[in-house]
Amino acid sequence: MSVQASGNLFVVAAPSGAGKSSLVKALMEVDHRIAPSVSHTTRAPRGQEKDGREYHFVDDATFDAMLAQDAFIEWANVHGKRYGTSRQAIDAVIATGHDVVLEIDYQGALQIQQKFPQCISIFILPPSWEELETRLRRRGEDQPEVIELRMANAREEIAQAHHFQFVIINEVFDRALFDMKSVVQAQRLRFEAQRRLRADTFASLGLA
Ligand code: 5GP
């Protein structure tokens, strides 16, 4: 099975603090036809994170071995740690018949766009630099120098937004969630997507 032959592939990127994870999580709570691909990372688990659920947590040697086996369809170094989407992780979602959502950084998103030109790319923006900084500070988990680093990274990341097909500005959460649902729904109504999903209906109507 391949991504090309099956459901929709959504790629969502954003600078940290834009609210990407919360939006994707909220989307999946209301939309049971879409599921995340579980990435591999060399960073340590945080809080309640569980191996195999949020991420597959691996050491550098394991990540290197997977790279050598060409196991990743994309990977990147983010904030000093490595993250990658394995072919197997995507196939596992496809096998369940779900649309796939990749919540990854922009470097990985650009690699996915190269490999799967039919993917649907979405970039989440904060409403302003001030609001982004406020949100990063509000998290309260990071030291001031970490926040500064994240702001510097955010400038680099936001400069890549023009590579994405859709842009959602996360000013009011519910509005941004509505926008996200709209993008997903619109994609499912495209001719090719409907032909895949409703093959019987198309055939009965004589639409090959
Ligand atoms: P965190 O460590 O906060 O969970 O994630 C840090 C960044 O890495 C986020 O922007 C997240 O979307 C990104 N990320 C998570 N998984 C992957 C992946 O498989 N590939 C890439 N390129 N980035 C990822």
Structural domain boundaries of the chain?
Answer: 3-198
The lowest-confidence range among 6-10, 69-73, 100-104 is 6-10
pLDDT of res. 2: 55
- Global pTM exceeds 0.75: yes
**Interval between CA 152 and ligand 1 midpoint (Å):** 17
More confident residue, 50 or 16: 50
Measured by CA distance, the residue closest to atom 14 of ligand 1 is 104
**The domain 3-198: what is its CATH number?**
3.40.50.300
Residues in CB range of 32: below 8 A, 6 or more apart: none
Measured by CA distance, the residue closest to atom 6 of ligand 1 is 78
Q: State yes or no: pLDDT of 144 exceeds 90.
A: no
CA distance 62 to 93: 22
The lowest-confidence range among 109-113, 118-122, 147-151, 172-176 is 147-151
Computed over every residue of the chain, the mean pLDDT equals 94
**Interval between CA 62 and ligand 1 midpoint (Å):** 18
DSSP-derived 3-state class of residue 128: coil
Q: State yes or no: pLDDT of 105 exceeds 90.
A: yes
Task: State how far the alpha carbon of 179 is from the alpha carbons of 43, 92, 122, 174, 176, in Å.
Answer: 31, 27, 11, 9, 5
Choose one of 12, 37, 74, 78 to mutate for the ligand 1 pocket test, by most ligand atoms within 8 angstroms of C-beta.
78
More confident residue, 7 or 162: 162
Confidence label for 145 from pLDDT (cuts 50, 70 and 90):
confident
- Region 29-49: what's the mean pLDDT? 96
Q: State yes or no: pLDDT of 4 exceeds 90.
A: no
**Ligand 1, residues at Cβ distance < 6 Å:** 16, 39, 43, 74, 76, 78, 83-85, 103-105, 107-108
Choose one of 43, 54, 93, 105 to mutate for the ligand 1 pocket test, by most ligand atoms within 8 angstroms of C-beta.
105
State the pairing for strand pair 55-57/39-41.
parallel
CA distance 86 to 133: 32
Q: State yes or no: pLDDT of 178 exceeds 50.
A: yes
- Region 105-125: what's the mean pLDDT? 97
- Region 8-25: what's the mean pLDDT? 95
DSSP run (H or E) holding 168: strand 166-169
Tell which atom from ligand 1 comes closest to the C-alpha of 13.
12
The lowest-confidence range among 1-5, 118-122, 140-144 is 1-5
- Region 155-160: what's the mean pLDDT? 96
Q: State yes or no: pLDDT of 1 exceeds 50.
A: no
